[in-house]
Structure 1
Amino acid sequence: MALENKWSVIKIVQELLAREPDKSSITPSLISKKIDLVLMLNPLWSEGLDRDAVTEELIRRFSIWVGVDGSLVDMKGHIPWLTADRKKDWRYWQRYREWQELKLSWAAVESMDKTTDHIIGMLEDPRRADSWDRRGMVVGHVQSGKTGNYTGVICKAADAGYKIIIVLAGLHNNLRSQTQMRLDEGFLGYETSSVPENGSALIGVGKIDSSPSLRPQYVTNRTETGDFNTKFAKNLGISPEERPWLFVVKKNKTVLTRLLHWIHKHVAETVDPDTGKPLVTHLPLLMIDDEADHASVDTGENVVDADGVPDNDHSPKAINSLIRQILHSFSRKAYVGYTATPFANIFIHERGHTANEGPDLFPSAFITNLAAPSSYVGPSRLFGLETENGRAGALDLVRSVDDHCEEDGRTGWMPARHKSSHIPLFAGQDTMPDSLTTALHSFILACTIRSLRGHGNEHCSMLIHVTRFNLVQGYVHQQVSSYVTHMRQRLKRRIDHQVLLKELEKLWHDDFLSTTESICSEISDKSDYRMFDWNSVIESLPNVLDEIEVRMINGTAKDALDYSDSPTGIKVIAIGGDKLARGLTLEGLCVSYFLRATKMYDTLMQMGRWFGYRTDYLDLCRLYTTDDLIEWFEHIADASEELRAEFDFMMESNLTPKDYGLKVKSHPVLMVTSPLKMRTAKTLYLSFSGSVVETVTFFRDQSKIKRNYDAFMALQKGLGDAEIIPQRKRIDRKDSWSGVQWSDVSPHYVIEFLSSYETHPDSIKVKSDMLSEFIQEMNSVGELTTWTVAVIGGSVKIPESVGGLHVNRMRRSAKKNDDSSRYSIGRLLSPQDEALDMDEPGWLAALKYTQEKWKPDPGRATGKELPDRPNGPAIRRIKGFGAEGLKPRPDKGLLLISLLDLEAADSSGTSAELRVNKESLPVVAFAISFPFSNASKSVPYMVNLGFWGEQYGASE
């Protein structure tokens, strides 16, 4: 009761505070006055009420801000319809909003209202009588609240008049069941069961407004066998003309076939005059596709012929075909895919069409990028973003794991590659590696501290994801369960408990205290990160251990972790693989132990269950993973930011989803997503227009270093004498570089340099021969015909003779997990480098463009302050397209070269302490900044599927 009172008081006080015109006036004193006012209305709410906790929660909520969404929209065939007058009686939405206000900040609820209005408004009016078809996609950050968003869309769709609502909820029972539970709470308002009856328990929105007229009909339920079945559907006693029907179904061939046949037999009231197939014309359909990049995408080839004409005889993959056939069975329909990794969907051919299925699932109507609230922790916040001086902005929550396998990578407790028959042994014993023991200790401490902070009734989860094989997961489950039971007994019986307490105390002092201090200094929200003395922790440990469960999550509905049925909070260690990896939410996730060896962009992003909201316990969160995976997640953070920035620029240019699709299909960063999902097993066509490429991986082999050094020497010999790079005026300061440059360089010299240079095979985005070919392609249409070539110097006092002048070598630290054959760095360029050839008017135009197009989004670590220097995309765009009063320069390319000192890279000392070999050759690194172009030129990149799979692993 005390907990219910707390949230009731918070909700009403928040509504009162939201009416304050000046939100900066919201102080503890004002909150206290509003609490007094609310308790006067209902004195019973004061029972067990922790006023301090209410005040802290409200201060936190009103310190949260939400970023700005963006959309690419195609209005073709669309009739605008959503008005304030149309919304005034929307009761499904109103009760959902009130329910969300119990747990979300005022800013987050307002943002959701605005976003869902935008999405539903881009769909068609369900009252529109003629045929229509709208298909869109919503891109959210991983674990950022996409389910909450599409629940809001469903509520508004039901209010507007959509009658059939189908939610495609993953491939496995546990995710389908969890999604059903969430929609029971947020839309239906009562618990679904296998026996439909009016007496089902009211939950969620049903407790706010339980009117019988607001009771949608469910066709699927939350039980193990709750997916769609014909027998259950036959017994429905309500017509969808009166109230909407909700279907929550797996992306499963049998289930979708069953649903399709039922729609044809029981719902369709006419036939399609063109195909003769059953057709539903009286009921508008909304289909929500959760994790839309997973299973929904047709990975078959030859969707269109060489001339781009759709192949009507193409046979799509089963799931894709059935989804499209269901849509094709309605004359009025809307499809919205939700995902955090949209790249597979963007590769869907926008003209893909077959006679049986109709159009493919390309989001032709709109693509919306959801911004995140400031309380969200995503890849760029956890791993930081790459700079020339290493990563910046990363939170100190990641811990490296290296004891899970032996040095050969093939043996040990959990080698990267193992079979379903693998038995995990550590040092030859049936036990866990030390790193997993430490991770378990971290979880126990996190649960204990959360309990001491007053979060004892809130959920607390740990994820262990080390293998995709159920049999191997079983061994891990047995080891973890045995260890947790043994810990519990040691503390209860006080047998050998001192050794355990010493280990926990050491972790407490060495990690937890310092990390909490570090996190407090790095974040700005008003979170309660109290720490306690060790004796308090010891006293709480036994009770916390008693509450911890260890569960296997292998895809059944009983694994769905029904958090809503556990008001006192679940404390669970969840062990699973692929079926745990995608979509399933682990509430209160604190500690993750993650060894899954895949490098596919979309797969890794979806496996990032640790991203999300960690109010009041972010400092207690830990991610234990390998150095290789840390590097790949860092790459993902950078690539995700790059693609979202590209989206922003295209949105401001009023381009459509089709335009974005064409751009992304040629984007070199996507060479880390599955070729099967790109619908091509052979060739990608890449364009470098409007992008910057940097070499960040190099050979250590001296013969390769010499080859690239010779290519550089040939380049400077051809260019002749150089000049010092001039300073550039930037409003109230000057940008300067140490180095030399050549202006008005013929593309011939750049092409020759790139043709002679050999890039490392692990260099994903930068292939020198492809770049050379691309420049030649652009030259054929009169672009990239004039170059600035610069050699930028560094801090290593070894001068190289370049163009008759001296340039110092540069130091870029080597990444610690490189093998002996390669040398890798973070970034080569500094933020100011791409504007090296821009005068002040051009720089100011790029700055203005950056600020106009800039959108605050905490999910991208962009903060709330306007940038004070132009970003790379703006610089490249101004050069390529020009600005008012500026001449476009798509002819102008920029090649930046640096001479890296390998011994300095491997040294941990300062520049003054370096002892370097002046006789050694420098490692030649380069970057190219390409201006934007309107010319549709690209170059082929051949994909070897066998090599791809070997390098990056399976995509799912």
Structure 2
Amino acid sequence: MSATEHKTRTRPEDHPAYSKLIQLVNTWADQQETPPSESQVSESAALLASLVRDHGDVPAHVREAVVAEILTRVQTTVEPGVAVVKDRDPWIHELRNEPEFGWPYWDAYRQLLLEEGRGREPMQELRRSVEDILDLSGDPRLEGAWQRRGLVMGDVQSGKTSNFIGLMNMAADAGYRLFIVIGGHTEDLRSQTQKRVDEGFIGRRSLDAGGNGLYSEPECGVGVKRRHVSVISVTTEESDFEARSKRTTHFGNLSTSVSAPVVLVVKKNSKILQNLAEWLPSMGGVHGLNVPMMLIDDEADYASVNTNKKDKVESTAVNAAIRNLLACSQRATYVGFTATPFANVLIDPQAEDDLFPRDYIYSLMAPSDYMGALNYFDEDQGERHSRVDVGDAEDYFPFGHKRDIQVPGLPDSLKRAVVTFVLACVITDLRGDRSASRSMLVNVSRFNDVQSQVHRLVSAYLDEISGTVQFADPDEMATGTGPALVRSLYRTWLDEYSESEHSWIDVAAQLPSTVDVIETELVNLTTDKERQRRAQARARARHSHGRRVISVGGTILSRGLTLDGLVVSYFYQRTQLSDTLLQMGRWFGYRKGYQDLVRVWLDPEVRSWFRFVAFTLEEIRADIRLMESAGGTPQDFGLKIRRHPEALKITAANKMRHAESQVLSMSFAQQRLETKTASLAPTAWETNRRALADLMLACKGQAHDMSLPAERGAIDQHIGFSRVDRVAVEDFLQAFIPGPKDTNFSRTEGNLSLIAEYVRSEATRHGDLWDVAVIGGSGEKALVPGLDEPLPGNRRDTADVLEWRGRYLAFSSRRIASERNLLNVARKLHNGPTERWAHTARTDDAIKEYAVPGVIDRPILMIYPVSWTPEKLHPLQDPIKTEAGLLGLMVTFPAVRDELGHVVEATEKAQYVVNRVWMAEAGLLDEIDEEVGDDG
């Protein structure tokens, strides 16, 4: 299709029937039990098009666009969020089931998101996650004094703002009446958040009228969707909280005379927060403020954490101000949101009044259409979007430069990135998306003076491109010849976008009109007021043309600020802080309709750092899933954060004042692992009984099959099988349900436990043959599932019953195995060369238990059927018999050896920063006591 044809043909979204047909087909798709196929959506669009014929026949290209949009929505998937929770008292579902209870705020927000293109499954998951977080945040109907504190973690630019605005809407329906949103540390970020809150919660644009009070703009966003409900805003896009402003004098008693929800969006500034904390109590009358209050702390890892030295009692200013705000209301909940939770989870959980998320940690999952680390840093996928040819930048603005550096010009790599952005805007226009915003990020310095120099150079280069294409010879433009800039445009199109649907002739013809509207903008504190003025002018202009802008800046571009339609990024910065680094990646997010155009230029080492940090966060998520399955609480969350082997740090040192660095081996080679707890849930018993029966049947089958090497033998009061197929052991370990605090053995839905994963991944190192033994003890005999003969159970009468989101048995001294069990099994099953065991038969020079892993050749699984008679400890507790299915495990792995028999390191040791809970679990803190019994 030629450029002329593109100009005459309107884009599908502009056709008057498009929106109505989208709504009809989307409603139909929502009613299907399973996501419809492409052919089903096409048939539906064709049939439903007849219902919108008041606009004439719907053209084929409009129906095709509707089908493509609906398919995008129904094919987007998202995994449920996971939570580590303390003392959950569910209430939200009971409230939802009350027929007379309405949800006007949430329903309007839901409708807004659906009309904006939110898919069915992401919308369902948003509702689930918002309900879960609200459920954990506390019931606003509860009288008396209460406070809740939690943390919600999500990916950078993944929709956390949509989530907390959804939370505000549902919380308003449930009864919360005061909302404080800490919307960033700069006026840019605060104003950006206010604008989102206006559209998603308040329902009106909040703009000042000459500084003389609140000026109510016409309804927007949710305000168009709902009736008879309102929200009062004390702040506006233009103005932060001011205690003596005319807006604050409009309020009476927040506890008695204000019925609508009240919201404030404020900067993370200690003076503003403290002024607010001093103003709020006066709004509650003589008895103080008693309305349910929700304080949402966006970017909760930034400035909110107390960074004073460990031995100081007082808090840092912002931290103290937030705590003072929470103390303003007798009923308050704190919800922190962040993509980089390193600092938050390293807060000392024993500090009573700090902001540690003591009640819950909730991990949001990004939808499948989110462009995250895999898209940019994966060896296969990353090649499409990331570019690392930025070495020439070191001659212009080197890493570690000073504020007085003089930038001599633009490196060729940055020029190429600017040209790429111009071409991306051209293709956007050719696709008919003239109303779509497109932006470019240039982040090469943290100094304002250097940013100003780079901004002037980028502006001059953009002017040069504009002048060249405006006056170039048409034939030279059409062939990509002539001036150097024309040749550069053509070569860049060949390298970056020649696979798009548009030819160079189309691109060349569109270039002059596209480049003419591209602007540049310096984004730092020195330009704050001027940018605010221009943004407000654009807001009032209400024009439909999308903005095309190259934003040059530093710190402000590095956290929280969203660049609409970010398509090209040029990043030449280094930071040794993992959380700061990841926040600088503003290119993460959703790029609906232009994913193929996205490009990022960055240094190859920094690229590897981004990859490292992204996968460090995945480890934290995995730990959260394990702790959730084990029934843990935030206080029980033994967190480890992988430290980069070279220069990269996790977060600022003053945020890790309660953390320690530990070197951990992530291999189980030459180690013994035992379960130290057992679930008392009958469902766990039954699952473990079935898993044991399946394992025993597999072992017996292999022992009777001459083609397999398994052998069966009696070991004192134990039954053992030598050289069992690894797969049977792996299946057992995957099915096994341990008690809490046994995170190595805990599995999550859809994932292997750590130990099962290790068994599978290290099969080649440890071999495919195992020894398996069912260990007998001194208890009464009982039939072992899968075996024909009885075996005496293992009495653990002095083990204790504890409560931790479910009752469980804690084995004394954190052990299930008894002395010499491992030695006897290894010796009787001939695990290792015969000469190693010749002198070990009950003599004083026998190999010690801790040395057995260094002697054996095959891994060993030992299973302990447990009986328990509480007697004096728990006289009202029923005893547990051996056959109940209460099992303990011990798994022992041999050393990994080379061809000459020398022990080698199976996995490199990694350095981690660990919190106090992890240190306590590892026995490194004496002052934190573990609830475990004595030897039994």
Structure (1 or 2) with the larger CA radius of gyration? 2
Inter-partner Cα distance in structure 1 for 2:891 and 2:663 = 14
Map of 1:444 onto structure 2: 422
- Deviation, 1:366, is 0.9
Inter-partner Cα distance in structure 2 for 1:202 and 1:336 = 28
Give the 5 Å matches for 1:532-681: 532-555=502-525, 556=528, 559=531, 565=542, 567-660=544-637, 662-664=638-640, 672-680=649-657
Map of 2:324 onto structure 1: 325
- Deviation, 1:199, is 4.5
Map of 1:347 onto structure 2: 346
TM-score (normalizing by structure 1): 0.68
Which of 363, 370, 376 aligns to 2:364? It is: 370
- Deviation, 1:3, is 6.6
Equivalent position amino acid for 1:622 in 2: R
Inter-partner Cα distance in structure 1 for 2:746 and 2:438 = 42
Map of 1:295 onto structure 2: 303
Give the CA RMSD over aligned residues. 4.0
- Deviation, 1:205, is 1.1
Deviations 1:278-326 (A, max 9, x none): x422x110011100000101111236xxxxxxxxx71100000000011
- Deviation, 1:646, is 1.9
Inter-partner Cα distance in structure 2 for 1:888 and 1:107 = 40
Deviations 1:473-500 (A, max 9, x none): 1111100111111111111122797322
Which of 427, 435, 443 aligns to 1:465? It is: 443
Q: Does the Cα contact within 8 Å between 1:142 and 1:608 map onto a contact in 2?
A: yes
Map of 1:486 onto structure 2: 464
Secondary structure (helix, strand or coil) at the match of 1:214 reads: coil
Q: Does the Cα contact within 8 Å between 2:377 and 2:611 map onto a contact in 1?
A: yes
Inter-partner Cα distance in structure 1 for 2:186 and 2:354 = 24
Map of 1:414 onto structure 2: 397
Q: Does the Cα contact within 8 Å between 1:136 and 1:364 map onto a contact in 2?
A: yes
Deviations 1:722-757 (A, max 9, x none): xxxxxxx99xx9xxxxxxxxxxxxxxxxxxxxxxxx
Inter-partner Cα distance in structure 2 for 1:114 and 1:463 = 34
Give the 5 Å matches for 1:651-800: 651-660=628-637, 662-664=638-640, 672-680=649-657, 684-686=660-662, 688=664
Q: Does the Cα contact within 8 Å between 2:620 and 2:639 map onto a contact in 1?
A: no
Equivalent position amino acid for 2:732 in 1: A
Q: May I ask how many residue pairs the two structures share in their alignment?
A: 713
Q: Does the Cα contact within 8 Å between 2:183 and 2:297 map onto a contact in 1?
A: yes
- Deviation, 1:567, is 3.1
Inter-partner Cα distance in structure 1 for 2:899 and 2:264 = 59
1:98–1:7: structure 2 CA closer, same or farther, 3 Å change rule?
same
- Deviation, 1:151, is 0.4
Map of 2:490 onto structure 1: 505
Q: Does the Cα contact within 8 Å between 1:686 and 1:939 map onto a contact in 2?
A: no
The answer as to 2:908 corresponding to 1:927 is yes
- Deviation, 1:433, is 0.4
Q: Does the Cα contact within 8 Å between 1:686 and 1:938 map onto a contact in 2?
A: no
1:125–1:570: structure 2 CA closer, same or farther, 3 Å change rule?
same
Equivalent position amino acid for 1:416 in 2: F
Equivalent position amino acid for 2:123 in 1: V
Which of 265, 275, 280 aligns to 2:289? It is: 280
Equivalent position amino acid for 1:423 in 2: Q
Map of 1:13 onto structure 2: 25
The answer as to 2:51 corresponding to 1:40 is yes
Inter-partner Cα distance in structure 2 for 1:894 and 1:929 = 18
1:622–1:373: structure 2 CA closer, same or farther, 3 Å change rule?
same
Secondary structure (helix, strand or coil) at the match of 2:890 reads: coil
1:447–1:237: structure 2 CA closer, same or farther, 3 Å change rule?
same
Q: Does the Cα contact within 8 Å between 1:96 and 1:155 map onto a contact in 2?
A: yes
1:348–1:558: structure 2 CA closer, same or farther, 3 Å change rule?
farther
- Deviation, 1:76, is 6.2
Inter-partner Cα distance in structure 2 for 1:477 and 1:285 = 43
Q: Does the Cα contact within 8 Å between 2:292 and 2:329 map onto a contact in 1?
A: yes
1:534–1:336: structure 2 CA closer, same or farther, 3 Å change rule?
same
1:259–1:615: structure 2 CA closer, same or farther, 3 Å change rule?
same
Q: Does the Cα contact within 8 Å between 1:582 and 1:607 map onto a contact in 2?
A: yes
Q: Does the Cα contact within 8 Å between 1:13 and 1:35 map onto a contact in 2?
A: no
Map of 1:888 onto structure 2: 889
Deviations 1:802-847 (A, max 9, x none): xxxxxxxxxxxxxxxxxxxxxxxxxxxxxxxxxx999333322344
Map of 2:225 onto structure 1: 208
Q: Does the Cα contact within 8 Å between 1:9 and 1:35 map onto a contact in 2?
A: no
Which of 189, 205, 212 aligns to 2:203? It is: 189
Inter-partner Cα distance in structure 1 for 2:574 and 2:468 = 35
Secondary structure (helix, strand or coil) at the match of 2:336 reads: strand
Inter-partner Cα distance in structure 1 for 2:122 and 2:275 = 39
Inter-partner Cα distance in structure 2 for 1:655 and 1:625 = 40
- Deviation, 1:31, is 3.9
Secondary structure (helix, strand or coil) at the match of 2:79 reads: coil
Q: Does the Cα contact within 8 Å between 1:463 and 1:592 map onto a contact in 2?
A: yes
Inter-partner Cα distance in structure 2 for 1:855 and 1:585 = 34
Which of 120, 124, 129 aligns to 2:134? It is: 120
- Deviation, 1:393, is 5.0
Map of 1:315 onto structure 2: 314
1:588–1:934: structure 2 CA closer, same or farther, 3 Å change rule?
closer
- Larger RCO: Structure 1 or Structure 2 (Cα < 8 Å, ≥ 6 residues apart)? 1
- Deviation, 1:113, is 0.9
Q: Does the Cα contact within 8 Å between 2:45 and 2:63 map onto a contact in 1?
A: no
Map of 1:380 onto structure 2: 374
Map of 2:839 onto structure 1: none
- Deviation, 1:873, is 9.7
Which of 268, 272, 275 aligns to 1:251? It is: 268
1:76–1:482: structure 2 CA closer, same or farther, 3 Å change rule?
same
Map of 1:106 onto structure 2: 120
1:665–1:929: structure 2 CA closer, same or farther, 3 Å change rule?
closer
The answer as to 2:139 corresponding to 1:156 is no
The answer as to 2:72 corresponding to 1:60 is yes
Inter-partner Cα distance in structure 2 for 1:424 and 1:244 = 51
Q: Does the Cα contact within 8 Å between 1:403 and 1:433 map onto a contact in 2?
A: no
1:138–1:875: structure 2 CA closer, same or farther, 3 Å change rule?
farther
Q: Which runs of 5+ in 1 are unaligned?
A: 271-278, 304-312, 354-358, 385-390, 407-411, 426-430, 517-529, 695-728, 734-835, 857-861, 900-922, 941-956
Which of 265, 269, 277 aligns to 1:260? It is: 277
Give the 5 Å matches for 1:221-236: 221-223=236-238, 225-236=239-250
Map of 1:453 onto structure 2: 431
Equivalent position amino acid for 1:608 in 2: G
Q: Which runs of 5+ in 2 are unaligned?
A: 1-12, 671-697, 703-722, 737-743, 763-769, 773-814, 817-860, 865-886, 912-916, 926-936
Map of 1:520 onto structure 2: none
Secondary structure (helix, strand or coil) at the match of 1:75 reads: coil
- Deviation, 1:685, is 4.7
Inter-partner Cα distance in structure 1 for 2:252 and 2:16 = 34
The answer as to 2:469 corresponding to 1:475 is no
Inter-partner Cα distance in structure 1 for 2:556 and 2:104 = 36
- Deviation, 1:371, is 0.9
1:573–1:242: structure 2 CA closer, same or farther, 3 Å change rule?
same
1:379–1:232: structure 2 CA closer, same or farther, 3 Å change rule?
farther
Inter-partner Cα distance in structure 2 for 1:898 and 1:403 = 43
Map of 1:786 onto structure 2: none
Q: Does the Cα contact within 8 Å between 1:599 and 1:672 map onto a contact in 2?
A: yes
Secondary structure (helix, strand or coil) at the match of 2:889 reads: coil
Map of 1:96 onto structure 2: 109
- Deviation, 1:568, is 2.2
1:874–1:133: structure 2 CA closer, same or farther, 3 Å change rule?
farther
